[in-house]
Amino acid sequence: MAYWIKFAYDKNTYIIDLETVGAFSSELENKRLTFWLPNSNQPIILNPLGHADAYKQVLDYLKKTLDRNSKGSWIKINYDRKEFAIDLSRISSFVCEPNGRLSFWLPDSAITIIITRQANPDAYQKVHDYIKNTTGQSLL
């Protein structure tokens, strides 16, 4: 089901289906909300002062999406002083290093997420569970 929003950003008007966005990042200290345009690595960075309506629409979408996360593919993790909401079903590869570090790349972005069992045990387990339940394979 599409979730279209329209907003002005950098002198352009965008109409975006948020259902096609696979990852969002929020910085709680400065209230910036970032997502990457689908099929692009161009970030959209919203804040409540400059983009109040779009900012609220994206936050509402995230709340609804995370609340109805019946598939279990959306996770929320804290990483690099940011909070990420990530749809793991949009991740096409995962890497587990011999030291146990788990890595994957955000969709439509050049950002690599690297998590360890020690630093983020909840997210680490959620990602491993998702991989096992989805692929039938285990990286452990």
Task: Report how far residue 50's alpha carbon sits from residue 102's, in angstroms, rounded to the nearest whole number.
Answer: 36
Task: Report how far residue 44's alpha carbon sits from residue 35's, in angstroms, rounded to the nearest whole number.
Answer: 5
41-99 pLDDT per residue, tens? 899 999 999 999 999 999 999 998 888 875 678 988 888 889 999 999 999 999 999 99
Task: Output the pLDDT for position 2.
Answer: 85
94-116 pLDDT per residue, tens? 999 999 999 999 988 889 999 99
What does pTM read for this prediction? Answer: 0.88
Can you give the residue ranges of every domain in the chain? 4-67, 90-134
Q: How confident is the model at residue 124 (pLDDT cuts 50, 70, 90)?
A: very high
- 128 and 139 in contact (C-beta within 8 Å)? yes
Task: Output the pLDDT for position 81.
Answer: 87
Task: Output the pLDDT for position 70.
Answer: 58
Lookup: tokens for 19: 């259902």
Burial state string for 22-55 with b = 16 or more CB within 10 A and e = fewer than 16: bbbbbeeeeeebbbbebeeeeebebeeeebeebb
